[in-house]
Structure 1
Amino acid sequence: MPASPSTARAINDRFALKLLQDEGPLTAAQLKTLTGLSRPSVADLVERLQGAGLITVVGEAGAQRRGPNARLYGIIADRAHLAALDVRTEGLSVVVADLLGATLAEATLPIDADVTGTEPAVEQAVALLERTAREAGVRRLHSVGIGAPGLIDPATGELRATTGLPAWHRRLVTALQERLPATVLVENETNLAAVAEHRLGAARDRDTFVLLWLGRGVGAALMLDGRIRRGVSGGAGEVGFLPVPGTVGLPSATDCGGGFHSLAGGAAIGALAARHGLGTAGAASAAAGVRAALAAGPRGEAFLDALAGHLAVGAAAVSAVLDPGCVLLGGETGHAGGAALAERVAGRLAAMSPLRTEVRSGELGDGAVLRGALLAARDAVQDDVFAPRG
Structure 2
Amino acid sequence: MPASPSTARAINDRVALRLLQQEGPLTAGQLKQLTGLSRPTVADLVERLTAAGLIEVVGESGEQRRGPNARLYGIVADRAHLAALDVRTEGVSVVVSDLLGRELARASVPIADDTGTGPAVEQAVTLVERAAKEAGAERLHTVGVGAPGLIDPVTGELRDSSGLPEWHRRLVAALQERLPARVIVENETNLAALAEQRDGAARDRDTFVLLWLGHGTGAAVVLDGRLRRGASGGTGEIGFLPVPGTSTLPSATDCEGGFHSLAGSAAIVELAAGHGTVATAVSPGEPEAAALVRQAVATLSSSSPSPSPSASSGADRFLSALADRLAIGAASVVAVLDPGCVVLGGEVGQAGGEVLATRVGERLARMSPLPVEVRASALGGGAVLRGALLTARESAQDDLFAPRSR
Cα deviation code 1:72-113 (max 9, x no counterpart): 110000001110100000000011111111111010100114
Matched ranges for 1:302-321 at <5 A: 302-321=317-336
Q: CA deviation at 1:273?
A: 1.6
What is the aligned length?
389
- Give me the whole-angstrom Cα distance separating, in 2, the residues matched to 1:146 and 1:194: 14
1:293 equivalent in structure 2: 296
CA separation in 1, counterparts of 2:403 and 2:299?
58
Q: Secondary structure at the match of 2:256?
A: coil
Which TM-score applies when normalising by structure 2? 0.93
2:90–2:110: 8 Å Cα contact kept in structure 1?
A: yes
| Contact 2:263–2:326, Cα closer than 8 Å, also in 1 | yes
Q: How many angstroms does 1:284 deviate by?
A: 2.7
Counterparts of 1:256 and 1:65, CA distance in 2: 67
Q: CA deviation at 1:256?
A: 0.7
Q: Distance in 2 between matches of 1:210 and 1:67?
A: 54
For residue 155 of structure 2, give the secondary structure of its aligned residue in structure 1: coil
Q: Secondary structure at the match of 2:287?
A: helix
Task: Determine the structure 1 residue equivalent to 2:22.
Answer: 22
RMSD over aligned Cα atoms: 1.5
Gaps of 5+ in 2: 301-311
For 1:296, what is the secondary structure of its paired residue?
A: helix
1:71 alignment partner in structure 2: 71
Range with greater deviation from structure 2 (370-379 or 282-291): 282-291
Displacement of 1:149 in angstroms is 0.3
Q: How far has the Cα of 1:280 moved from its partner?
A: 5.0
Distance 1:36 1:51 in 2: 23
1:353 to 2:368 alignment: yes
User: Could you tell me whether the CA contact under 8 Å between 2:63 and 2:69 is conserved in 1?
Assistant: no
Residues 146 and 388 in structure 2, CA contact (< 8 A), matched pair in contact too: yes
Q: Partner of 1:274 in structure 2?
A: 273
Indicate the residue corresponding to 2:36 in structure 1: 36
Which residue in 1 is equivalent to 2:340?
325
Asked whether the equivalents of residues 85 and 385 of structure 2 are also in contact (C-alpha less than 8 Å), the reply is yes
Which residue does the alignment assign to 1:90? 90
Contact 1:27 1:69 in 2 (8 A): no
Residues 269 and 113 of structure 1, relative CA distance in 2, 3 Å threshold: closer
Cα separation, 1, equivalents of 2:279 and 2:296: 13
**Unaligned ranges ≥5, structure 1:** none
The separation in 2 between residues aligned to 1:273 and 1:70, in whole angstroms, is 62
Structure 1 segments (4+ residues) deviating >3 Å:
63-69, 280-283
Q: CA deviation at 1:387?
A: 1.3
Identity %: 74
Report the AA paired with residue 299 of structure 2.
A
CA apart distance, 1:67: 5.6
1:290 is matched by which residue type in structure 2?
V
Amino acid at match of 2:180: P
Give the conservation status (yes or no) of the 8 Å contact 1:210–1:222: yes
Match of 2:248 in 1: 249
Question: Which letter maps to 1:347?
Answer: E
**What's the counterpart of residue 57 of structure 1?**
57
How many angstroms does 1:65 deviate by? 4.8
Change (3 A) 1:124 1:65: farther
User: Partners of 1:67 and 1:380 in 2: how far apart?
Assistant: 41
1:64: Cα distance to partner? 3.4
- Give a deviation string over 1:38-62, Cα, whole Å, max 9, x none: 1111111111111111001101112
Work out whether residues 357 and 376 of structure 2, in 8 Å CA contact, stay in contact via their aligned partners in 1.
yes
